[in-house]
Amino acid sequence: MSLLVLIVIYSVLFAIWWYWCRPRVRSPAPYPGALPIIGHIHVAFKYRNDVWSFLERLFNCVTNECVVLKMGSHNMYVVSDPDEVGVIANTSLKKSYHYSFLDNILENGLLLEDVPTWRIHRKLLNPAFNLHTLNTFQNIMNVEARSLVSQLKDKAGKEPVDVKELVVKYILRSVCRTSLGLEAKDQDMIDKEYAEAIEEIMDIAVKRALNVALYPSFIFKRTAKGKREQELIMRIKNILNRTIQKRKSDLKTIDNKQNNKTDVSDGSANGKFKPILDLMLHLSDEQEGFSDDDIRQHLNTFVFASYDTTSGVLQTVLSVLGSRPDVQERVYKEIVEVFGDNEELTKYDLPKLVYLEAVIKEVLRLYPIVPWVGRQIDTDIVFPKYTLRAGSTCILVIYNLHRHSSWGPDVKEFKPERWLNPATLPTHPNVYAPFGIGKRNCIGKRYAMMTLKTSVAHIVRNFQLSADISNLCWNFEVVLKPSKPILVSFTLRP
């Protein structure tokens, strides 16, 4: 009997070894530390409150080699080589299953929609983010930045401030006013109802992602969290539907002749402010390009993606400047020179903020708010050393790309000066990808840079900052978020 038990145990152990450890023809090497059955799930839980440490470990372990993470029975390819990343990003446009936890929230917005629809909608929406249109947003960005400065003046000279709440509300207001066309007086419902709903929904999505038992939709929908998510989704739908209908009504009061003088194909030819919602309503009326549901889903995606990412980057920029007095002083001198005696920045001023842009780019390089993107591989992708199989998930690690050896021996150092001399920058296009990689990159990257430059210029012009970024740790909650408050001291400049 004992011999039979030993044979069974040996057979089970051999089967486990054969499945998990046997060499596979042309398959990338497994990431170290996989356990039988669960694979690397224990690693995900170990580092869930300190993603930065995991990213650094991953970087030190794999460098440019592709490895396989085993998440239970599911394999994920982790790719860091710039050439391989480029091939995958431009041939596999379908988002990976990780994004499915946002399906209920964002539905068929630009971030998640299927590839054929995305191709059509991306082309239709590109004019809403070209330079002509974005330049018409500058006045609103100045107004909101000055409002933020006014709020920070109440905090100046006091204890260090957790800037998260102020920054998130500021970005949300700016994004909503430029994308939805809301007047300041109509912003209250967005500041309160919408913002609170989005924050709670993201929290639910993260908790679901960390609980394998809630992955099946038919189970999740029956839980308290699933039911609460549905309530919040309905609240958001109602808010945005009211906003769309109100904007439709407002547009009817505009003189058609005057409205027709504006060429929507390039934003606003005469410089008149034209929110993103107006473009979509025009496409809906004239070309039947969007239904009301399409418009709502795209708007929700713009606001959701913009304020969550841009607010995180702005907090990090403020912390970096507060930790680097020499960098901050150089930024301040440039800002004073560009502003002159004016109260606001113009569209002609932003390109002159060269060093400030270098600082922001370096922050985006060293502290990418989205450290990786996921794609679903549709067909086998053959590389010299291995083949990535169709149907698999592929993780493209932006964190590793930003630390690629082509950046030089000082790759881990914060050096904005590297951006001032293009001849010294890496020539490979994929080693810098803070707004995604390949064809399906972020449509709002110019918008984000405008917002960040305008925000920082107004803040640094008015305040001297003090902070300490050395102890910064990150959680992964859809995007990277600080695991503890980012504290910044503000001192009014004379």
Write out the binding residues for heme.
442
DSSP bridge partners of 466: 489
What residue numbers does the annotated binding site cover? Answer: 442
User: Please, what sign has the CA dihedral across residues 309, 315, 321, 324?
Assistant: negative
**Side-chain half-sphere of 487: how many Cα atoms within 13 Å?**
7
Distance CA 193, CA 238 (A): 11
The residues, ordered by sequence, that sit 6+ positions from 494 with a Cβ below 8 Å of its Cβ are none
Indicate the DSSP class of residue 35: B
Residue with token string 């859809």:
478
**Side-chain half-sphere of 37: how many Cα atoms within 13 Å?**
2
User: In which element (H, E) is residue 38 found?
Assistant: none
**Nearest to 110, CA basis, from 346, 443, 458:** 443
Sheet holding 161-162, edge to edge: 161-162, 487-492, 463-466
User: In which element (H, E) is residue 18 found?
Assistant: helix 2-20
Can you state the angle between helices 224-252 and 195-209, rounded to 10 degrees? 140
Residue with token string 């698999």:
392
Q: Tell me whether residue 376 is exposed, middle or buried, using C-beta atoms within 10 angstroms of its C-beta: 0 to 12, 13 to 18, 19 or more.
A: middle
Distance CA 121, CA 100 (A): 20
Angle subtended at Cα 479 by Cα 413 and Cα 395, rounded to the nearest 5 degrees: 80
Distance CA 144, CA 454 (A): 10
